[in-house]
Structure 1
Amino acid sequence: MTQPDRMPVMFVGHGNPMNAIEHNAFSAQWAELGRTLPKPKAIVCLSAHWETEGLRVTSSAQPETIHDFYGFPKALFDVQYRAPGDPALAREIVDLLKPTQVTEDEQRGLDHGVWGVLAPMFPEADIPVVQLSLWRGKSARYHFELGQRLATLRRQGVLVVASGNIVHNLRTFDFNATEATPWAAEFDAKVQSALLSRDFDALVDYQSLGQQATLAIPSAEHYLPFVSALGLVEPEDQIRLFNPKTLSSISMTSFLAS
Structure 2
Amino acid sequence: MSESTAPESVTTTWSDLPTTARLPVLFVGHGSPMNAIENNRWRQSWQALGTELLARAQQPRLILCISAHWLTAGWQLTAMAQPRTIHDFGGFPQALFDQQYPAPGSPPAARFISRSVLQPGSNRPLELDGGDWGLDHGAWSILKPMFPDAAIPVIQLSMDYSRPAAEHFAIGRQLAQLRERGVLIVGSGNAVHNLRTMRRDAPDNQAYDWAIEFDRVTADHIVQRRLPALCDFPQLGAVAQMAHPSWEHYLPLLYAAGAVQEEDEPRFFNEGFQGASISMRSVIWE
TM-score (norm 2): 0.87
For structure 1, the 5+ residue unaligned runs are none
Distance in structure 2 (CA, Å) of the matches to 1:130 and 1:240: 25
Is residue 102 from structure 1 mapped to residue 126 from structure 2 by the alignment? yes
Of all paired residues, the percent bearing the same amino acid is 50
Is residue 243 from structure 1 mapped to residue 259 from structure 2 by the alignment? no
Aligned letter for 2:285? A
- Cα offset, 1:4, TM superposition: 6.3
Q: What pairs up with 1:63-212 in 2 under 5 angstroms?
A: 63-98=83-118, 99-107=123-131, 108-178=133-203, 179-209=206-236, 211-212=238-239
Task: Provide the residue aligned with 1:15 in structure 2.
Answer: 31
Contact 1:163-1:226 within 8 A present in 2 as well: yes
TM-score (norm 1): 0.96
Distance in structure 2 (CA, Å) of the matches to 1:126 and 1:76: 21
Of 39, 48, 58, which residue of structure 2 is paired with 1:32? 48
Q: Deviations over 1:117-152 (max 9, x none)?
A: 000000000000000100121111110001001110
Is residue 45 from structure 1 mapped to residue 65 from structure 2 by the alignment? yes
Contact 2:20-2:181 within 8 A present in 1 as well: no
Distance in structure 2 (CA, Å) of the matches to 1:103 and 1:95: 9
Contact 1:244-1:254 within 8 A present in 2 as well: yes
Distance in structure 1 (CA, Å) of the matches to 2:220 and 2:260: 16
Is residue 257 from structure 1 mapped to residue 277 from structure 2 by the alignment? no
Q: Deviations over 1:72-108 (max 9, x none)?
A: 0000000010000010110011101133232211112
Distance in structure 2 (CA, Å) of the matches to 1:211 and 1:202: 18
Contact 2:87-2:137 within 8 A present in 1 as well: yes
Distance in structure 1 (CA, Å) of the matches to 2:233 and 2:136: 26
Distance in structure 2 (CA, Å) of the matches to 1:174 and 1:202: 30
- Cα offset, 1:214, TM superposition: 1.2
Distance in structure 2 (CA, Å) of the matches to 1:149 and 1:201: 14
Contact 1:190-1:209 within 8 A present in 2 as well: no
Q: Deviations over 1:39-59 (max 9, x none)?
A: 200100000000000111101
User: Would you say how many aligned residue pairs link Structure 1 and Structure 2?
Assistant: 256
Distance in structure 1 (CA, Å) of the matches to 2:213 and 2:75: 33
Contact 1:202-1:208 within 8 A present in 2 as well: no
**Displacement over 3 Å in runs of 4+:** none
Task: Provide the residue aligned with 2:21 in structure 1.
Answer: 5
CA-based RMSD of the aligned residues comes to 1.3
- Cα offset, 1:236, TM superposition: 0.6
Contact 1:54-1:101 within 8 A present in 2 as well: no
For structure 2, the 5+ residue unaligned runs are 1-18
- Cα offset, 1:182, TM superposition: 1.7
- Report the 3-state secondary structure (helix = DSSP H, G, I; strand = E; otherwise coil) of the residue aligned with 2:156: strand
Aligned letter for 2:166? R
Q: Which stretch of the first structure deviates more once superposed, 35-44 or 57-66?
A: 35-44
Contact 2:78-2:130 within 8 A present in 1 as well: yes
- Report the 3-state secondary structure (helix = DSSP H, G, I; strand = E; otherwise coil) of the residue aligned with 1:69: coil
Distance in structure 1 (CA, Å) of the matches to 2:124 and 2:272: 36
- Report the 3-state secondary structure (helix = DSSP H, G, I; strand = E; otherwise coil) of the residue aligned with 1:218: coil
